[in-house]
Amino acid sequence: MMIYDHILIRYGELALKGKNQRKFLNQLQRNIKYQLREFKHVQVKRTQGRLFVELNGHDPTPIVEKCKQVFGIYSLSLAIKVDHDLEAIKKAALYALQQSKDTHAFKVAVRRANKAFPIGSQQMNQILGAHLLKNTTRFKVDVHEPDIIINVEIRREATYITSSVTEGLGGLPVGTGGKTLLLLSGGIDSPVAGYLAMRRGVELEAIHFHSPPFTSERAKQKVLDIAKRLTVYGHTINVHVVPFTKLQQQIFQDVPDRYAMTIMRRMMFRISEAVCRRHGILSLTTGESLGQVASQTMESMNTINEVTNYPVLRPLITMDKEDIVAISKQIETYPISIRPYEDCCTIFVPKSPATRPKRKIANEYESKLPFESLIDEALNGIEIIQMTDEKSTEDFQGLF
Amino acid sequence: MMIYLDNSATTKPDPEVVKSFQQVSERFFANPSSIHQLGGESEQLLLEAKQQCAHLLHVEPEEIIFTSGGTEGNNLAIKGIAFEHRGRGKHIITSEIEHSSVYETCKALERLGFRVTYLPVDERGVISIDDLKRAITDDTILITIMHVNNELGSIQPIEQIGQLAKKYPKLYVHVDDVQGLGKVPFRLKASGIDLCTMSGHKIHGLKGTGILYAHKRTSLFPLFHGGNQEGSRRAGTENLAGAVSLAKALRLAKEKEQTEVKRMYELHHYMRSELKMIKHIEVNTPERAAPHIMNFSVPGLKPEVLIHMLGEKQIYISTKSACSSKQIDDHRILSACGYDESRSKSALRVSLTYDTTKEQINTFIDVLKDSINRLKEVME
């Protein structure tokens, strides 16, 4: 019986990476293997210029879905692997065409990478085209505007027949771009920023500022759930939960309302940089988008950024809110983000925060604040929670 | 030993499922909507249950609505679409052999001014795609067709129906998969099906549990208004223990679908050949059918009498569907397949489950033969 027994993986951009290519490909292959680890018989294989998933009897649907979560994959296709045998190739091409839905006009595209195969690609196109026409009724050939292309790749080890192409996420394999610390509040923006950083091959750790009893366990859980959701893109994420109550209260007591938000953000950056140093992380990532709120004006960013010389990645900086929301829905962090719990950024919102805070003034206010010891205290109280994409949490063991 | 062959009416709950229900009832009794810590734990657990169901069905968590079972799922899907989208059109297409919770819902909508087309079926209990195509008009908003028929086990071409409906952007497709779940797999997401009803107690889960799958772009007019549970599509404090127990039942059923269904088909074939050899018996279930339902008639005999004779030997089978079997002259479904009255009225249904054995089937066949012989003697 004829079935789709392979998935052919294309990785576009990676092919351009010269010397690094090997490293990128190894990482991509590792990431795919990791993503597919629940499918016992699946094999991920590499031949020149191509990655293949051997299904070995597994249903392709969930596997394709998993592959669609791996950065670095440009597109993928279900493939039938056959020997270099004309009859077998004909049979597989016919199967691929018959399996297609809502198609009428087809085109055959043969690529003969293996020149040992005796028939040239042009002649193969004709042979297969004729075979398909002869054995079907609802199809015609249209080489200019086909609604399905039957691709036949004659490679060294075998011949692969594919038809439909599913788009992948693109980007670069996670693990090839170093590590960043994502400031994760629980809102809509920061998870999207994390996602976009990951898309460029960057590994994530996350930091969250927790102010009990002003912010609840459920607000913290929400952040953990977001981090967990992001782990579907392929690795565990450590969430550094910082006890922030004391420092935050001190700020809101001693700093005039207008500057409280600015100073608070400066403290967050200081703590985040210290966490980076401890764990060998080389940059911060935030969900800031220019002009969205008081702390995200040009002046605010200038004043807040003064306290660190670590690079701060701001993947959303020029994006519109609608576009950010659209991505957050697509990556399914949106329903988590809109759960209605107070977080550290919403709990002490001053009535009229300065939209144009100055570095000089911020420094003056801070000089009166014993913040170093409070920062140390916060750093010492950090709880690191490792999130993985494993299914059930321990508390619920056995219930499912 | 009891031989229970009425699994299409309901199944015996799996002890593991009952255990989950009890544990959750005792440990996670808080309301998931309460904002305290305990409520938070319940909410987490509810999300987990939803994620597990979504994972098993290859859909997204927000597309799962926990319901009280098949009847509610069917009502919510059909009335939900009809009321929400009545501005787009007022025509609904269904078949003549739907379960009463679909059929009567459509009848009720007719009384409210909706127009309903009831597609006929052939003698195998299957609708024709051409008939369906012809029935679709500009005014059509919903196609509601069952996957596996509860009396006959016949299978409708629902993937094809979904593909066809894709060409009509304002048309929703609902599938009643209460009988197919865990036995006859199909591709939910890829087939363009917008709504799908599932029930817990048909897959060794508990009564009062079920799922309505609703594609995330499908808006529904709720049957229950109130709180914003289930994305405001079904108000009311969630049945958390039920939801978790259903997630477990679904996992077990999906596992058995992989390992046991092949054997069930073998048993089904075996039973068919045995039944065919018995004089006076006519098999109604078509060759291509679900692996767990076998319907046959003994024309001239009152089915109730046979049921009671088998019952004396602790063998339990049924006449038609349990939901309508007490109405003596309801034989709508077999009549729709073109069977005459004596055959329709004397129909019996045997329904298997994953662990039904060949020995049980043999015992049933022996007792059945014996009973028929005795009854025929009396009558002749």
Residue B140 contacts residue B89 (beta carbons within 8 Å): yes
Residue range B197-222: mean pLDDT, rounded: 97
**Does residue B329 register a pLDDT over 50?**
no
Beta strands in chain A (DSSP E): 6-10, 43-47, 50-54, 75-82, 105-112, 140-141, 148-154, 159-162, 166-167, 179-183, 203-210, 237-243, 283-285, 312-313, 383-387
Residues 6+ apart with CB under 8 A from A286: A182, A183, A190, A193, A312, A313, A314
**B→A interface, C-beta within 8 Å:** 20, 23-24, 35, 37, 40-41, 43-45, 47-49, 51-52, 55, 58, 60, 62, 163, 166, 187, 189-190, 244, 247-248, 251
Residue A244 contacts residue A144 (beta carbons within 8 Å): no
The model's confidence at residue B190, banded by pLDDT at 50, 70 and 90, is: confident
**Does residue B321 register a pLDDT over 60?**
no
> Environment class of residue A227 by beta-carbon count within 10 Å: exposed (0-12), middle (13-18) or buried (19+)?
buried
Query: Average pLDDT, whole number, for chain B?
Result: 93
Residue B201 contacts residue B10 (beta carbons within 8 Å): yes
pLDDT tens, position by position, B349-378? 999 999 999 999 999 999 999 999 988 877
Residue A250 contacts residue A147 (beta carbons within 8 Å): no
Query: How much of chain A exceeds pLDDT 70, in percent?
Result: 95
**Does residue A68 register a pLDDT over 80?**
yes
pLDDT at A200: 94
Query: How much of chain B exceeds pLDDT 70, in percent?
Result: 97
Residue B273 contacts residue B237 (beta carbons within 8 Å): no
Q: Which residue has the tokens 């009988």?
A: B179
Residue range B295-303: mean pLDDT, rounded: 90
pLDDT at A390: 75
**Does residue A368 register a pLDDT over 70?**
yes
Residue range A163-177: mean pLDDT, rounded: 91
Q: Of the candidates B20, B51, B187, which has its C-beta nearest A61's C-beta? A: B187
Residue A243 contacts residue A381 (beta carbons within 8 Å): yes
pLDDT tens, position by position, A278-290? 999 999 999 999 9
Residue A164 and residue A147: Cα distance in Å, rounded? 10
Residues 6+ apart with CB under 8 A from A44: A29, A32, A33, A36, A51, A52, A53, A54
> Environment class of residue A351 by beta-carbon count within 10 Å: exposed (0-12), middle (13-18) or buried (19+)?
exposed
Residue range A75-85: mean pLDDT, rounded: 92
Q: What is the maximum span of chain A, computed from C-alpha positions, in angstroms?
A: 87
The model's confidence at residue A391, banded by pLDDT at 50, 70 and 90, is: low
Q: For residues B175, B180, B182 and B183, what is the CA-based torsion angle, rounded to 10 degrees?
A: -150
Please indicate if any CB of chain B lies within 8 Å of the CB of A40.
no
- B248 and A218 in contact by Cβ < 8 A? no
Residue range B183-200: mean pLDDT, rounded: 93
Please indicate if any CB of chain B lies within 8 Å of the CB of A360.
no
Q: What is the maximum span of chain B, computed from C-alpha positions, in angstroms?
A: 74
Residue B105: CB atoms within 10 A of its CB come to 23
Which amino acid is present at B128?
Answer: S
- Residues in chain B with CB shorter than 8 Å from the CB of A65 are 58
A259: Cα within 13 Å, side-chain hemisphere: 22
Q: Of the candidates A218, A393, A400, which has its C-beta nearest B35's C-beta? A: A218
pTM strictly above 0.80: no
How far is CA B312 from its chain centroid?
28
Residue range A157-173: mean pLDDT, rounded: 91
Residues 6+ apart with CB under 8 A from A39: A58, A62, A63
ipTM value for the complex: 0.73
The model's confidence at residue A389, banded by pLDDT at 50, 70 and 90, is: confident
**Does residue A348 register a pLDDT over 70?**
no
Question: Which residue among B106, B196, B323, B337 is the active-site one?
Answer: B323
Residue range A250-266: mean pLDDT, rounded: 92
Residue A283 contacts residue A275 (beta carbons within 8 Å): no
**Does residue A154 register a pLDDT over 90?**
yes
**Does residue A335 register a pLDDT over 90?**
no
- A221 and B40 in contact by Cβ < 8 A? yes
Query: Average pLDDT, whole number, for chain A?
Result: 90
The model's confidence at residue B328, banded by pLDDT at 50, 70 and 90, is: very low
Residue A300 contacts residue A333 (beta carbons within 8 Å): no
**Does residue B188 register a pLDDT over 50?**
yes
Beta strands in A33-135 (DSSP E): 43-47, 50-54, 75-82, 105-112
pLDDT tens, position by position, A199-246? 999 999 999 999 988 888 888 989 999 999 999 998 899 999 999 999
**Does residue A114 register a pLDDT over 70?**
yes
pLDDT at A17: 61
How far is CA B226 from its chain centroid?
28
Higher pLDDT, A47 or B358: B358
